[in-house]
Amino acid sequence: MMDREALNAFLDRAFPQVAGQIRVEDVGESLTARLIVAPQHLRPGGTVSGPSIFALADVAIYLAILSRIGEVALAVTTNASIDFMRKPDAGRDLLADCRILKLGKVLAVGECLIRSEGGVDPVARCSMTYSIPPKRP
């Protein structure tokens, strides 16, 4: 229901706090989102911070859901689990490859693997559940 351009425009309009930081790269059966890594995303030790990785996962799965159901700004995260598996490359953007596992009327479940751009092995794995508000007449 929403393509890459529509999702990026929605993100810029509804979530200006991440505008210019997270972008949808591709959308189809799955969705790929990019965190454009900048100094504010880094932590001591020269790596991307956990909160930045979590934000990418949260936004990417949310957008994967919206790509299927359309613009629903009030869908909210109700559960999240993330595994940080290896240190990402601080000099590279992060890519989140997401898929929707269940899309119901009230709940949606998605997962994503996050990797450094150009890398093969995931740096994090995340699964999330979202509550979808009822459609208003």
Bridge-based pairing state of the strands 76-84 and 22-27: unpaired
**Biggest CA pair distance of the chain:** 52
Q: How far apart are CA 40 and CA 17, in angstroms?
A: 13
> Would 115 be classed as within a structural domain?
yes
Residue 112, beta-bridge partner list: 98, 126
> Would 103 be classed as within a structural domain?
yes
Each residue's pLDDT tens digit, 127-137: 999 999 987 55
Q: How many domains does the chain have?
A: 1
> What share of the chain in percent tops pLDDT 90?
89
> Would 99 be classed as within a structural domain?
yes
Structural contact between residues 94 and 53, judged by C-beta atoms closer than 8 angstroms: yes
Structural domain that includes position 84: 4-131
Q: Which amino acid is at 12?
A: D
> Would 136 be classed as within a structural domain?
no
Bridge-based pairing state of the strands 107-116 and 124-131: antiparallel
Dump strand ranges (E) for 4-136.
Answer: 22-27, 31-35, 42-43, 47-48, 76-84, 94-103, 107-116, 124-131
Each residue's pLDDT tens digit, 41-66: 999 888 999 999 999 999 999 999 99
Q: Mean of the pLDDT values across residues 11-30?
A: 95
Q: What angle do CA 77, 53, 124 make, to 5 degrees?
A: 95
> Would 137 be classed as within a structural domain?
no
What sign for the dihedral angle of Cα 18, 19, 24, 25?
A: negative
> Would 62 be classed as within a structural domain?
yes
Each residue's pLDDT tens digit, 90-101: 789 999 999 999
Each residue's pLDDT tens digit, 106-121: 999 999 999 999 999 9
Q: What is the CATH number of the domain that holds 121?
A: 3.10.129.10
The CA distances from residue 68 to 81, 107, 123, in Å, are 22, 13, 26
